[in-house]
Amino acid sequence: MTGNYWELISSQPVEGTDLIETIWHTHRPPEGEYDTVGLRRLIADNNLDPADVIVYLPPSATSARLYTNSEAYDFRIYLANRGHDVFSVDYRASFVPPGETDISCIAKWTTRVHLDDIQDAVKTVKGITGAAKVYLAGHSTGARYVYLYAAKRWEEDVAGMIVLDGAPWESYGPEELYSMDMDKCYAALSEGDTPENRKLFKSYGLTPGDHYYEATMAEFDSEFYEAIGAYLHDPGARSPVPDFDTAKDYIASQFHNVWGAKQFSNVLEGYASVGMLVAFVVRAAVPYWPLVDYAEEAYIGNWNGKPPKPELQFHDGICEIDVPLIVFASEEWTTALGMQFWYKQLGPVMVKSTDAEFHLLENFGHIDVLLGEYAKQQVFEPLHGWLLKHHE
> What digits encode the pLDDT tens for the residues 188-202?
999 999 999 999 999
The structure's pTM equals: 0.96
Chain mean pLDDT for the chain: 92
Strand spans (E) along the chain: 7-13, 19-27, 36-44, 53-57, 85-90, 134-139, 158-164, 325-330, 356-361
> What digits encode the pLDDT tens for the residues 316-331?
899 999 999 999 999 9
Residue 315 is predicted with a pLDDT of: 86
Question: Percentages helix, strand, coil for the chain, rounded to the nearest 5?
Answer: 40, 20, 40
pLDDT above 80 for 337: no
pLDDT above 90 for 336: no
Residue 340 is predicted with a pLDDT of: 63
**Is residue 182, in this structure, part of any structural domain at all?**
no
Question: Residue 310 — pLDDT band, cuts 50, 70, 90?
Answer: confident
Residue type at 300? I
Over pLDDT 90: what percentage of the chain? 81
> What digits encode the pLDDT tens for the residues 126-177?
999 999 999 999 999 999 999 999 999 999 999 999 999 999 987 655 455 5
**Is residue 92, in this structure, part of any structural domain at all?**
yes
DSSP for 346-379 reads HHHHHSS-S-EEEEEETT--TTHHHH-TTHIIII
Residue 172 is predicted with a pLDDT of: 52
**Is residue 274, in this structure, part of any structural domain at all?**
no
Structural domain including 384 reads 7-172+315-390
Q: How many domains does the chain have?
A: 1
Q: In whole angstroms, how far apart are CA 186 and each of 164, 303, 328?
A: 30, 16, 34
261-286 b/e (C-beta count within 10 Å ≥ 16 → b):
ebbbbbbbeebbbbebbbbbbeebbb
Residue 307 is predicted with a pLDDT of: 64
**Is residue 261, in this structure, part of any structural domain at all?**
no
Residue 104 is predicted with a pLDDT of: 96
Question: Residue 1 — pLDDT band, cuts 50, 70, 90?
Answer: very low
Mean pLDDT lowest among 27-36, 214-223, 357-366: 214-223
- What is the CATH number for 339? 3.40.50.1820
Over pLDDT 70: what percentage of the chain? 94
**Is residue 127, in this structure, part of any structural domain at all?**
yes
**Is residue 235, in this structure, part of any structural domain at all?**
no
**Is residue 162, in this structure, part of any structural domain at all?**
yes
Question: Residue 339 — pLDDT band, cuts 50, 70, 90?
Answer: low
Q: In whole angstroms, how far apart are CA 209 and each of 110, 191, 226, 288, 289?
A: 17, 16, 19, 9, 9
**Is residue 84, in this structure, part of any structural domain at all?**
yes
